[in-house]
Structure 1
């Protein structure tokens, strides 16, 4: 009897997770069902794929030989889904994703309307949370995937760039710098700053670029550190300082003349947004389609 991709996927997940119980949880299957499918695969090849002990399982020599082919098969299936999803207009299903602050509150809302028009039967549930929470919920299979603002290293996760963003200098509409379109870095540093908290993706990108331009971070007159983009915007609008944020997060305030977006000459706060999901889990066609839509959407 021929083996099938489902069995290959189960084998790969067991190997990646290191146990039948963990694989069963990731695949939403019972442990006996996972064990049975692996045994069927072993019967097909006529050899053991795992060495089982009371404490752990390890790949056999045959299992090590099969792993690259299983990995290639899963990658090919994902690519197939990505290509064919472009031809599917009647996608249905529920998609649960997590997004970090800037992406979830200011970037994705612009996309959800056009996405809903294109795929009216796709139901998207968006959770806005920090990167640590996103990783935790993906690990527990509570999210299909996540969108985050800075790369992370995790042995069980696949991380891919999906879109770019550029941070800019944000000042109150009546600020002395607001009469200029392009400001000098040295001039910017003479004013007090309201910043996101240390460890946030926005703060990390800002500091790395300033260090690249030989700025001593102690030169920055930080008068306030806040835990959300919304709070930073309100503080800047109130005249408490200037900041570095994504222009996508201040479109409304700029349109009302409350804030202004400026460019710092010779300085570019470019950053990449990333998708993240479990290596052992195949993305659904709605998930693949969503990510494809994100990458192809005209953000200008």
Structure 2
């Protein structure tokens, strides 16, 4: 059995046609057809039904497909493990990330990764979750990093990093002068500046409140803003307090512009998730990068 032929078979099955597979593999269509025929001769059975415009798997092909996937994944994992010793990993990594991850979390991680793997080029798009899903489905991104879990029939989620929201108040605020932690009931008596509804950060905060039997609508919201930077600026100006990821306010905290406060009776922890097509095999560069992200949790 030829490993290269299994790779071609998997790509044809994923893409749904010989022409699309040939384009993805940078091969001619006759060469793809010839390798599939050789694999079918090896097993002595048809793997693909070619009677329709879109290629369909035969019963034997459906049985072979998960085995082919496992073999290819194991090969990529092996290459990634060995690349850690040689630092000779090559490739182009295309990923999308939601706002908090893309603007505040990844920048500090990309430097060390780039020094460890200088021959991997990274193209990062910062966009909302729906845009990330759309570009993954269109094979424009290898995978995405998002702040809240979503359900999609063609995609799979995996937690890769941990994050925590903290209460953020401006310097000089009454709560900034108090020894923390502060009770949640007292925190909710103050006016809030929040991200817009539907943002991952706001959803985490509201989910925790609901779990504690508190209606998020009861929060005294004086302003809703569409970016974390705008929220931070409003808090600095004393317009209200907020809940933000600790990774987004390190600079402002160091300068003494705001203070992070622990809440005594509530924890606002969450995971960041990698999302990818269920049927797709990640390139080795992507597998290595995700492994690197998971290692940061340890």
- Scaled by the length of structure 2, the TM-score of the pair is 0.89
CA distance in 1 between counterparts of 2:237 and 2:8 reads 56
RMSD: 2.4
**Paired residues for 1:92-241 under 5 Å:** 92-180=90-178, 181-241=180-240
User: Which is worse superposed, 111-120 or 262-271?
Assistant: 111-120
Relative distance call for 1:153 and 1:7 in structure 2 (3 A) is farther
Match of 1:73 among 47, 71, 74: 71
Q: Find the residue that maps to 1:108 and give its secondary structure.
A: helix
Kept in 2, the 8 Å contact 1:13–1:280? The answer is: no
CA distance in 1 between counterparts of 2:97 and 2:13 reads 29
Q: Find the residue that maps to 1:264 and give its secondary structure.
A: coil
- Scaled by the length of structure 1, the TM-score of the pair is 0.88
Kept in 2, the 8 Å contact 1:194–1:235? The answer is: yes
Q: Find the residue that maps to 1:224 and give its secondary structure.
A: strand
CA distance in 2 between counterparts of 1:187 and 1:263 reads 12
Q: Return the offset for 1:32.
A: 4.7
Relative distance call for 1:33 and 1:274 in structure 2 (3 A) is farther
Q: Provide structure 2 residue ranges, at least 5 long, that are not aligned to the other structure.
A: none
Residue aligning to 2:242: 243
User: Which is worse superposed, 34-43 or 263-272?
Assistant: 34-43
Alignment length, in residue pairs?
297
Kept in 2, the 8 Å contact 1:27–1:281? The answer is: no
**Paired residues for 1:22-101 under 5 Å:** 23-24=21-22, 27=25, 31-101=29-99
Kept in 2, the 8 Å contact 1:197–1:225? The answer is: yes
Q: Return the offset for 1:25.
A: 5.5
Q: Provide structure 1 residue ranges, at least 5 long, that are not aligned to the other structure.
A: none
Q: Return the offset for 1:7.
A: 2.3
Kept in 2, the 8 Å contact 1:12–1:280? The answer is: no
1:12-40 Cα deviation digits (max 9, x unpaired): 33334444455456555555544443333
Q: Return the offset for 1:250.
A: 0.6
CA distance in 1 between counterparts of 2:22 and 2:198 reads 35
Kept in 1, the 8 Å contact 2:69–2:281? The answer is: no
User: Which is worse superposed, 81-90 or 60-69?
Assistant: 81-90
CA distance in 2 between counterparts of 1:90 and 1:16 reads 28
Q: Return the offset for 1:273.
A: 1.1
Relative distance call for 1:271 and 1:79 in structure 2 (3 A) is same
User: Which is worse superposed, 65-74 or 187-196?
Assistant: 65-74
Q: Return the offset for 1:97.
A: 2.0
Q: Find the residue that maps to 1:265 and give its secondary structure.
A: coil
Relative distance call for 1:30 and 1:273 in structure 2 (3 A) is farther
1:162-186 Cα deviation digits (max 9, x unpaired): 1101111111112111123211111
Q: Find the residue that maps to 2:149 and give its secondary structure.
A: coil
Relative distance call for 1:48 and 1:120 in structure 2 (3 A) is closer
User: Which is worse superposed, 145-154 or 25-34?
Assistant: 25-34
1:64-121 Cα deviation digits (max 9, x unpaired): 2212312321332233234223223233443232211111110111112222333333
Q: Return the offset for 1:55.
A: 4.8
